[in-house]
Amino acid sequence: MTIRSPIDILTRFTFAGAIALVISSCAAPDTQHHIVISTREQKLALLDRSNLVAIYPVSTSRFGLGDWPGSSCTPLGKLEIAEKIGDNAPPGAVFKDRRRTGEIVAPDSPGRDPIVTRILWLRGREPQNANAFARDIYIYTKSWAAALK
């Protein structure tokens, strides 16, 4: 995997819940860790002071790349975590409109595709991704994340 500048691209995609748990558990802003996404390879790399910690499979938008309102595209560039949602939520807790529904789903629940466990809501830091927060661009866990290869 080619690692580009820190946080090359982040969007509505899924990934192993461990990343969300690690990052969402930080109380103060974390400037040592970065996430780099390769849309070509559909991989997320977690870095600690530029050292590779782990690589996880992800799924980015099927609508391509961009930041136009209403486009459902994956924005490019540097983004930051604006809000962490789901602290203390149990694994499999379902979220709708960034609120817990009270439902818990098992991994790979047949016929289900909810957002579960954690949401990292992103804000763009560059003109090319300035709409990311208003567009509700997240890093989040899906119940089928274990199926990503």
What CATH code is carried by the domain that includes residue 74?
2.40.440
Asked whether residue 135 is assigned to any structural domain, the reply reads: yes
- Tell me if 4 is assigned to some domain: no
Q: Which residue has the higher pLDDT, 7 or 67?
A: 67
Query: Could you tell me the pLDDT band of residue 61, with boundaries at 50, 70 and 90?
Result: very high
Residue 20 resides in a domain: yes
Section 26-32 average pLDDT: 71
- Percent pLDDT > 70 in the chain is 77
Residue 67 belongs to a domain: yes
* 1 in a structural domain: no
Residues contacting 44, CB < 8 A, separation 6+ = 13, 15, 19, 35, 36, 37, 55, 56, 57, 58
In tens, the pLDDT along 126-141 reads: 999 999 999 999 988 7
d(CA 20, CA 139): 8
Range of the domain at 118: 13-147
Residue 146 pLDDT exceeds 70 = no
For residue 144, the model assigns a pLDDT of: 54
* Residue 16 pLDDT greater than 80, yes or no: no
- Tens of pLDDT along 78-102? 988 899 999 999 988 999 999 999 9
**Alpha-carbon gap, residue 149 to 144, rounded angstroms:** 11
Q: Is residue 35 part of a domain?
A: yes
How many structural domains compose the chain? 1
